[in-house]
């Protein structure tokens, strides 16, 4: 008996699950994306929006859902593209049947993101039409074409990123800085990209430096600026200590520029990471006019280092956490006497004077007394300035020398690289060849232990180097102040106090000792 074969044609679209013969209108959305950094790009954006709106509405078999768009957003990553993400969300929710866009590169320059999105929409019966490449994603060969075009677009992004990076690094190598002036307090962009001081904002910068050198904490300064109604660099009303600290540590405020503090690690994610030596840096002295002097800036850096080494810093005035009880070792704190009458006076005494019933015998001291005693102690330094300067410079070179530590650090880096390479080789070998896993685990554990030991050694050496560098900055600030001082002090100077004094130890009324940043001690 002969076989009879009857072909039954498909009646349902395998992608949309709708009857093939059904003449339903498709709900269509358009997607446009451009960078609006340039005028021609802005024009392109408007043109895309108008074109696709008119194109979709002109079709009788389509229902126009709306236009989705992203301006000035990179295509290499979809996470921050709000318009794109909203469109995909609406499509998955069943509000869109077809998405029309200009090209694969407009949609995504990341192959993985592009394919993932296309497949996700395909499962829901949602089609994408890429006009330039004439690709319909529900077509059998659509995915292959998208893979090829997305890869090409991704490679284009990589090439653009490399060219941009090269351009930036060439600019850095030429000593030219580039910053976002919009969120940079104190400077404006000049006609040729140069730094021009905004005098109105510069007042705030100088105030921050002045208050910090007067002993106030970043928290206190932030509170003051907020109460004064001063806008933050980002134009916000509330200041935070971190914003104050970033201004205090930015070398651009003294007229220098450290270039390439951060770099883009991955062109796909565009993630900026702190440069810890992975790429070259360039330090340009005298790049532009400073808002604060180099001395002020360096004094602040020395003070930051001093406070960092303290367990607790009160930060309420010039003499905060600098006067120490010679009996119990606690800090002196400010106390107000007669706060509500004409005899009001601020004095400093041991914070633990009456703690646990044990009364320290060290005396209190008021601000005027302290200032007079400092003038007396400082003048002892100034009277022997040349000798003290010479001794301090010798001491700085002896105490702060890092040549041997630098060599040890380089050896540690080499050792870490060797161990890391051995670990990578072990992993690669284990993936290619069926090794004895117990033996492999033992080998890998040994390498890990070696790496951790070498890393601990590296961290210790790096910490020693940073400590010596910090001491060198203290010495340098001390030396600069002595070199600038022509004669003896007559009036108290807060800047000289900040650059010279390490701490004050109070033992008795007749035994108050000033410990200067070069280690020199004067008893008054």
Beta-carbon contacts of residue 509 (< 8 Å; ≥ 6 apart): 363
Whether residue 317 is predicted with pLDDT greater than 80 in this model: the reply is no
Per-residue confidence band for 96, with pLDDT thresholds at 50, 70 and 90: very high
Asked if residues 323 and 348 have their Cβ atoms less than 8 Å apart, the reply is yes
Answer yes or no: pTM beyond 0.85: no
Whether residue 419 is predicted with pLDDT greater than 80 in this model: the reply is yes
Report CA 312 to chain centroid distance, whole Å: 25
Report CA 264 to chain centroid distance, whole Å: 12
Report the pLDDT averaged over residues 314-336.
Answer: 82
Three-state DSSP string of 229-246? CCCCCCCCCCCCHHHHHH
pLDDT score recorded for residue 76: 42
Instruction: Take residue 174 and report the two structure tokens written for it.
Output: 């030429």
Instruction: For residue 306, give the 3-state DSSP assignment.
Output: helix
Report the pLDDT averaged over residues 282-300.
Answer: 82
Whether residue 5 is predicted with pLDDT greater than 80 in this model: the reply is no
Residue with tokens 């010279």: 500
Asked if residues 139 and 129 have their Cβ atoms less than 8 Å apart, the reply is no
pLDDT digits (tens, 9 = 90+) for 115-149: 678 778 888 888 888 887 777 877 766 556 565 55
26-160 matches 181-308 in fold: no
Per the DSSP assignment, residues forming a β-bridge with 187 are 197
pLDDT digits (tens, 9 = 90+) for 345-362: 778 888 887 776 667 889
Q: Where are the domains of the chain?
A: 26-160, 181-308, 371-523
Q: How many CA atoms lie within 13 A of 473 on its CB side?
A: 19
Q: What percent of the chain has pLDDT over 70?
A: 73
Report the pLDDT averaged over residues 419-424.
Answer: 84
Q: What percent of the chain has pLDDT over 90?
A: 22
CATH architecture of 26-160: 3-Layer(aba) Sandwich (3.40)
pLDDT digits (tens, 9 = 90+) for 360-401: 889 989 888 999 999 999 999 999 999 999 999 999 999 889
Rg (CA), the chain: 34
pLDDT digits (tens, 9 = 90+) for 8-55: 665 545 445 455 555 678 899 999 876 544 444 445 677 778 888 888
pLDDT score recorded for residue 379: 93
Report the pLDDT averaged over residues 249-264.
Answer: 75
- Least reliable range by pLDDT among 208-212, 235-239, 305-309: 305-309
Q: Residue 221 — φ and ψ, nearest 5°?
A: -65, -40
CATH topology of domain 181-308: Hect, E3 ligase catalytic domain fold (3.90.1750)
Mean pLDDT (the chain) is: 78
Report the pLDDT averaged over residues 441-454.
Answer: 87
Q: Residue 81 — φ and ψ, nearest 5°?
A: -95, 95
Higher pLDDT, 481 or 11: 481
* Widest CA span in the chain: 128
């Amino acid at each position: 008996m002969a076989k009879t074969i009857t072909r039954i044609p498909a009646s349902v679209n395998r992608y949309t699950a709708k009857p093939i013969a059904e003449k339903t209108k498709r709900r269509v959305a358009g997607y446009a994306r451009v960078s609006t950094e340039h005028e021609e790009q802005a024009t392109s954006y408007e043109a895309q929006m108008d074109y696709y709106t008119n194109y979709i509405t002109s079709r009788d078999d389509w229902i126009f859902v709306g236009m989705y768009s992203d301006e000035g957003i990179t295509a290499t990553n979809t996470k921050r593209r709000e318009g794109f993400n909203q469109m995909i969300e609406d499509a998955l929710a069943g509000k869109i049947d077809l998405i029309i866009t200009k090209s694969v590169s407009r949609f995504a320059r990341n192959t993985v993101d592009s394919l993932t999105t296309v497949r996700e929409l395909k499962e829901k019966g949602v089609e994408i039409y890429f006009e330039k490449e004439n690709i319909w994603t529900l077509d059998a060969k659509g995915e292959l074409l998208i893979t090829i075009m997305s890869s090409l677009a991704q490679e284009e992004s990589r090439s653009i990123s490399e060219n941009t990076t090269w351009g930036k690094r060439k600019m850095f190598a030429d000593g030219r800085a580039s910053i976002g002036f919009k969120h940079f307090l104190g400077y404006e962009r000049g006609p040729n990209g140069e730094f021009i001081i905004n005098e109105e904002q510069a007042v705030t910068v100088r105030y921050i430096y002045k208050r910090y050198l007067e002993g106030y904490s970043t928290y206190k300064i932030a509170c003051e600026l907020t109460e004064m109604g001063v806008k933050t660099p980002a134009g916000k009303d509330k200041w935070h200590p971190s914003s104050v600290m970033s201004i205090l540590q930015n070398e651009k405020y003294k007229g220098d520029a450290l270039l390439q503090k951060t770099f883009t690690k991955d062109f796909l994610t565009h993630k900026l990471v702190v440069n810890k030596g992975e790429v070259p840096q360039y330090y340009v002295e005298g790049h532009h006019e400073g808002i604060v002097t180099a001395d002020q800036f360096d004094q602040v850096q020395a003070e930051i280092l001093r406070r960092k080494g303290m367990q607790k810093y009160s930060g309420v005035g010039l003499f905060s956490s600098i006067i120490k009880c010679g009996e119990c070792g606690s800090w002196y704190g400010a106390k107000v006497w007669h706060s509500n009458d004409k005899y009001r006076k601020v004095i400093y005494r041991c914070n633990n004077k009456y703690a646990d019933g044990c009364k320290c015998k060290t005396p209190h001291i008021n601000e005027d007394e302290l200032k007079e005693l400092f003038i007396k102690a400082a003048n002892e330094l100034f009277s022997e300035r040349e000798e003290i300067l010479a001794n301090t410079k010798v001491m700085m070179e002896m105490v702060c020398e890092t040549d041997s530590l630098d060599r040890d650090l380089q050896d540690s880096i080499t050792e870490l690289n060797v161990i890391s390479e051995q670990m990578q080789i072990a992993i690669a070998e284990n993936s290619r060849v069926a090794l004895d896993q117990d033996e492999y685990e033992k080998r890998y554990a040994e390498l890990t232990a070696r790496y951790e030991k070498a890393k601990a050694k590296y961290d210790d050496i790096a910490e020693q180097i940073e400590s010596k560098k910090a001491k060198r900055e203290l010495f340098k600030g001390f030396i600069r102040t002595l070199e600038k001082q022509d004669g003896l002090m007559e009036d108290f100077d807060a800047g000289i106090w900040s650059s010279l004094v390490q701490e004050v130890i109070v033992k008795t009324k007749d035994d108050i000792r000033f410990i200067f940043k070069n280690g020199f001690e004067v008893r008054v």
